[in-house]
Structures are given as structure tokens and as C-alpha cells.
Chain A
Amino acid sequence: MNTIKSPEELEAKREEIIAARQRDGAAVAVCCGTGCSASGAGSVVAALQEYLARWKLEVPVKTRITGCHGFCEQGPLVVVEPGNILYCRVKPEDVPEIVDTTLVGQEVVERLLYIDPVSGKPVPTEAEVPFYRGQRRLTMGWNGRINPDRIEDYLAVGGYRALAKALSEMSPEEVIDNIRESGLRGRGGGGFPTGRKWKLCRQATGEPKYLICNADEGDPGCFQDRSLLEGNPHLVLEGMSIAAYAIGAAQGYIYVRNEYPLAVKHAGMALEQARAWGLLGENILGSSFSFDIRLTRGGGAFVCGEETALISSIEGLSGEPNPRPRPPYPVDKGLWGKPTLINNVKTLAAVPMITERGGDWYQQIGTATSKGTMIFSLTGKVNNTGLVEVPMGMTLRQVIYEIGGGIPGGKEFKAVQTGGPAGGCLPASKLDLPLDYEKLTEAGSIMGSGGMIVMDNTTCMVDVARYFLSFTVDESCGKCTLCREGGRQMMAYLMEITAGRGKLEYLERLRELAAAMQAGSLCALGRLAPNPVLTTLRYFKDEYLAHIEERRCPAGVCRDLITYSIDTEACTACGRCIRNCPTGAISGPDKEVPLLDQELCIRCGACLDLCRFDAIVVQ
């Protein structure tokens, strides 16, 4: 492969790739993101390749292995082009029918289409599915159309055009001004204006300068950084190259979780390809700009997502990460004491389109202070789980009900948690809140990295607060006393409350400790860790009171406060619970409603899971 030495050569190469593509016939895209792979996408690909090889079709058909399409709930997903026909939950045995009916017969296989739960009717194309219809997939949209292993695929959809534009037509200052005009803000949590951060780093004195892509997606419940890096790694590399050109960095790092092996693999392959094509390295596209990127694996520590901790983790030899007071900020003194720009994967992934289409175009999307689109991981008790990319300003209700399809099993919405362990839980009265950095902060939560976890009336909010706090206590690096000890003490109170030994005065002490932690912690982990406790106290105080005053868990979650019983009316005496009770607490003769011995019952939930007749009652 000859390296590409100028923007003109890049365009010529692109045209060559596109022309070759037009000769291809149909394409079958199989989502092989982490979600669909777990649902068996690998065997669908194998079946498809085998079937296509056996029955040589007149029109050539390409199998395209793609990254995450976002609609993980319905995986494995298969999209047939042309036609944009979406097939859901595809099994290997469905492959012959898809090939024979759709590719040869030009008709759809109705039974594999997505069924709109509202109308009950099948939806033939991907674009018409309500989950996708409400979205604006500016960043994620390419994922379904390219094979992340192939740089040619990325070029075919316009890849690296923005980098060529920046290098040949714009000065670094113009690149920064364009990002400033776009209103883009950090998508990793802080929401700091990206253009301003770049400008600060460009102006900082000290050489060399470094760029770090933060892909240490530690928020439990978030997987959009993973999906971008797995599904479209060149997009992130292109964004990084533009950022490096703007600030004047020659060396970049991608700090990625070791728990994401596929992201590590795809990013590594993309780096090799970009080097081979001359899109990384010396004098990129014939310009005077030289830049390369190294991949660094994290060790599975949430605190490493924090900028100063991440820097010390890359520096490596000091062992543990070490959050430190600011200023100085990393843009002045970062990696090895040099000016360092750290941006999240999603922020960098937005850079190519802003550079290509202009900051004035991007700033038209969104609200007054929050511009562009945001990718959320919509999970928990919602029908359509997956990754959704929506314009800022859309309401929580629109995301949860119109895109997410509402709450499954006819249950009631109780809360939505945004912003990960440092975020907050918002109640039904906040459903019409627009997604906007300031609005979420006012309500007590944060935008964070885009986690959105929906909870229904079987989720206990005290337990959720305990869960989040146990996570942050566990992940605290222990440097700041108030984060380390304050968090533990708050945990102790929450454990007492969920065990039915709570006292009313604990609620006040929780608030005091929270205030102390917020004031006395060096990094965002400690400062934001009390958020889930504070928001649940603010919006769900009734549940705390039920645990303390009535020794009752209204959601039926806290084991010390609940009992299981059998509804004799609903029970059909099928005996499944008897056979599967691990402690023998459920017993009785054949064909009779069994008895449940409270002494032996450990409230493990096995019977509740198994019973087909809703005859297990939790109180």
C-alpha cells in the first residue's frame, strides 16, 4: 500500500473505493457489537457466509460485519441493503430464508421484522422503527454501515475528509475557533467547553504537548465509548488528529479499559492501518503536521477516568493513580508536567463532523447552552434498551417513552438515573426535563457520560443509593480522608436502614456527611459520590421513611424487610417452585398449593423468577 501524500490523493483513493463498491450488489450487514455478539451474531455470520458460498447467487452479495447499531435489545440485528430492511433477533437457521426471500426474491421475511408494540404491526425498514426514528444519529449512524476492520469502509463514507480540510485549508486557530463556535462541550462528564479547553492548551507554554483520548469508560451502565471505539475506531482517530493539529501535539494516547478487548483490538488495527496509509505519522497528507498515537490499557479503576488520576496512570511507574489539587490544570501541566489535552471518546468523535460541516451548523442543534447531540446508554427497566443519540434538549419522557418504548410488563415508571454513580435519580415529576447540562444539574443530577438507567416500582431507591455509594466507596483511591471515611460512614448508615435498623436521625447525618465529602475531596469522584444519596433523599424520602418507621421496603427488594408468600388463588400447584427452592423452604404434596416455611426461606428469588402464574407474592 502506498501512503497517501495529499488531500487530492485521498479524494482519488476515495473515489476509487466508492466506484468499486458500486459494482457490488446487495450487502447484508450483521451487527457484531458486544451486545449482538453475546446474543449469537457470530454464528449468524458463519451461517450467512456458508450459505452464500454454497449457493452462488447471480448478483454478488457482501456480508458486512459491523459494529454496534445501538438496538441491542433486539439483537442479533441484520440489515439488508438496498432496502434498509431490518431483521431482529436473527438466528443462524433464519439465514436461508433471508437469502432466498429477500436477496433473491426481493421480498421481506415478515416474521423477522420488528413489531411496533403500540400498533402491533411489523416495521419493514430500520429508519421507520420508533427506536431509530426519534434519534439523530450523527455520530453513531456510521456504525451500522462500516466494517470497523476496514479503513476503506470509513473512507467510503467520507472519512478523513475533515482532517484533510483542517490540514490544507485551516490554521490551528481556525480549527479551534470553529469548535468554539459549535458550542461543543465535554461529553465525558464535566461539560467544559471543548473549544476553550483546546485554546488554553494551545496557548500553554511548554513542549512537547500531549493529547489523551479518555476511553476509560468506568461508569457502570455506560457503553457508548466502547461502541464507538469498537464500531468506528477511525472516527475517533480522525478526531484526535484534528485536535492534535489544533493544539500542536505530536504524540497522542488512547487510554482504554482492559475490560474492552474488542475495543483494544479494533483501535489497534485502526492505528496500524492509519499509519500504513499515511494518515498517522510524519507529514500527514503532505502537510508539516506529524502525529502518532499509542494505545494504553487501564487497569479497571473508576477513578482513572478522572483527569489527573488518568495522567498518573499513563505515566505508569508511580503505581497508583494520584488525584491532585488543581490548578495547575492538565492543559498547563499534565502528562510528564507538559501541557496535555484530555477529551472523551464522544467529544473527539464529534470533531470531524464539526470541522467538515462547520461550527455554525452544529450549534443550531440543541439548546441555548447545550449544543449538538448526546449519546445515551438507555438501560434498566425500559422496553428498548440500547444506545440512543438524540439532540440536546429532548425531554427524558421522549427518550424513555418514544424511543425507549416505555416500561415493560405494565409496571410503573419510578425514576431515571442519569450521569452514572456520580449522578442522581430523578422522579416522574421531572420527566419533562429537557436533556441539557444546566437543567440536569439544577435538578440534582448530571449529564455525566450519558448513562440513563430507568427504574420501575420494583426498584428500591434506598437500595439504589446504597448500591451507588458502595461502588464509589469501593473505587475511592483513599487519598482524601473525607471521601474515604465519609463514604464508608454513609454506607454504614444506609446498610442499617436497608437492614431495618434505621433511625430518623440517620437522614440528617447522611446530609451532613454528604456536604463534608463534597467540600473535602480533591477530585470529582469524592465530590459527586453523595449525589445518588442526596437526590433519593430529595425525591424519594417516603421510601426512606417506610424503611425506618414501618420497617418496610415498598419495592420488595431489601431482604431483611420482606417476606415471600404464595397466593393460593393464583397458584396452579405445578410444583416448579418446590423442585427449584434451594433451601427446601417450599414443600407440599403433589397437586396441592405448597407451603412456604418462613424460617427456611432465604428470599433468594428463585421461585419468583420461575413462577409462570405470578403466584409468588413479595411484601
Chain B
Amino acid sequence: MEQIIDKYRGDSTAMIAILHDLNAAFRYLPREALEIVSDRLSVPLSYLYSAATFYRSFDLEPCGEHEIQVCLGTACHVRGSERILDALSRRLGIKPGETTADGKFTLKRVNCLGACALGPLVSIDQKHHGHLTIHQAERLLEAYKDEHD
């Protein structure tokens, strides 16, 4: 925590960068952490929350151990990514944006992962899996569950 803030010492533009690093370290932005940042940077807490809620990259709830991102960029959309999101949502029993009760998986919809030629695309823990069918996406999830059990 201190290390992250110190890394950007004296940089008035570093607020977003600090939030990125904190989000990566805690897998969300705990209120206590934001309070410390507010104190150290002399930035009102409301500013931090304003940024944390505006930008898509930040989470205000703890995320699961594994993050599943379903790309809903245009190229993926026209190749049926919404059906893949629905299938994973059904399999996991959670809605997009939620985390499974056991804290293992968080399902997220993202606007574009920038690997548009491979759509439809799902990224699990930053690893991209392209050209998926519904069936393959479900099997991928099952394989992932087995591997990490």
C-alpha cells in the first residue's frame, strides 16, 4: 500500500495509476485503502470515488479468484458473443458483474479486448481464448474449474 503510493511520489497525475495498482493488488478498491490515498495525496475521498465509479477498470466489490471477461466488442458481437456470455452466466449461476458464492469466479462483460480478429473471445485471468462456440466456452469453463480445484 505504502509502496504503491510512494512509487508515484510527487506526481499530481498519478491518481489513476495508483488506483490501477491498488485494484490489481487487492482485486478491488477497499474503502480503507482509498481513505489512505485520500490522506496521502490530499485529494478529497469524493474525487477518488468519482474516478473509481466512472472508469470501468475499477471494482468496488471484491473480485473472485479468477476473472472471466467476455468480450462484447462489435466484432465479437456480430459473431454471437452475447450468447456466449449468457451460456457462461447460466453455467456459473451468476449475472455479469457478479462473483460466484464460493468466491472462485467473477464474470465480466468488457467492451473490447482488442483481439477482434479472433472473435468471439473470452479471456480468463488475462489469457485469451478465441473463435469460441457456446459449447467450447462451456467446456473451457469446466476444464478451468477442474484444473483449479
Contacts and interface: CB of A to CB of B under 8 A. Distances in A.
Interface of A: 34-35, 37-39, 72-73, 217-223, 226, 257-261, 296-302, 313-321, 377-381, 385-387, 417, 420-421, 451, 453, 455, 459, 464, 467-468, 471, 475, 477, 580, 582, 604-606, 609-610
A69 to B, nearest CB: 11
Contact of A320 (B20, B50, B73, B112): B50
A451 B74 CA distance: 9
A140 to B, nearest CB: 14
A605 B80 contact: yes
Given A221-B74, A606-B87, A609-B135, 4 more contacts: A314-B13, A319-B47, A381-B78, A468-B74
Among A319, A451, A468, A582, the most chain B Cβ lie within 10 Å of the Cβ of A319
Contacts of B129: 38
B130 interface: yes
B47 A471 contact: no
A379 B55 contact: no
B80 A381 contact: no
B53 to A, nearest CB: 9
A299 B16 contact: yes
Contact of A35 (B57, B110, B118): B118
B75 A609 contact: no
B48 interface: yes
Top-8 shortest CB links A-B: A299-B55, A72-B117, A220-B73, A38-B128, A379-B75, A319-B50, A300-B56, A220-B112
B114 A38 contact: no
Given A259-B113, A451-B74, A459-B78, A72 B118 contact: yes
A218 B114 contact: no
Contact of B117 (A316, A379, A471): A379
11 contacts: A35-B118, A38-B128, A220-B72, A221-B73, A221-B74, A226-B114, A296-B17, A300-B111, A319-B15, A605-B83, A609-B135
Given A72-B118, A604-B87, A320 B128 contact: no
B78 A464 contact: yes
A604 B15 CA distance: 42
A580 B43 CA distance: 53
Given A218-B111, A379-B117, A455-B78, A297 B54 contact: no
Nearest to B111: A220
Contacts of B94: none
Interface string B125-143: 0111110011100000000
A297 B17 CA distance: 7
Contacts of B55: 298-301
B74 A35 contact: no
Nearest to A453: B74
Nearest to A385: B117
B76 to A, nearest CB: 8
A179 to B, nearest CB: 28
A306 to B, nearest CB: 14
A300 B78 contact: no
A220 B77 CA distance: 10
B72 A582 contact: no
Given A34-B115, A299-B56, A220 B87 contact: no
A223 B116 CA distance: 7
B43 A606 contact: no
A248 to B, nearest CB: 21
Interface string B14-41: 1111011000000000000000000001
Nearest to A316: B13
Among B20, B48, B73, B116, the most chain A Cβ lie within 10 Å of the Cβ of B116
B90 A582 contact: yes
Contacts of A220: 72-75, 77, 111-112, 116
B25 to A, nearest CB: 14
Interface in B95-122: 110-119, 121
B119 A379 contact: yes
Nearest to B49: A319
Contacts of A471: 111
A443 B135 CA distance: 40
Contact of B19 (A299, A301, A453): A299
A477 B56 CA distance: 12
A301 B90 contact: no
Contacts of B13: 296, 314-317
A390 B112 CA distance: 24
B129 to A, nearest CB: 7
Interface string B47-79: 110110011111000000000000011110111
Contact of B135 (A35, A297, A421, A606): A606
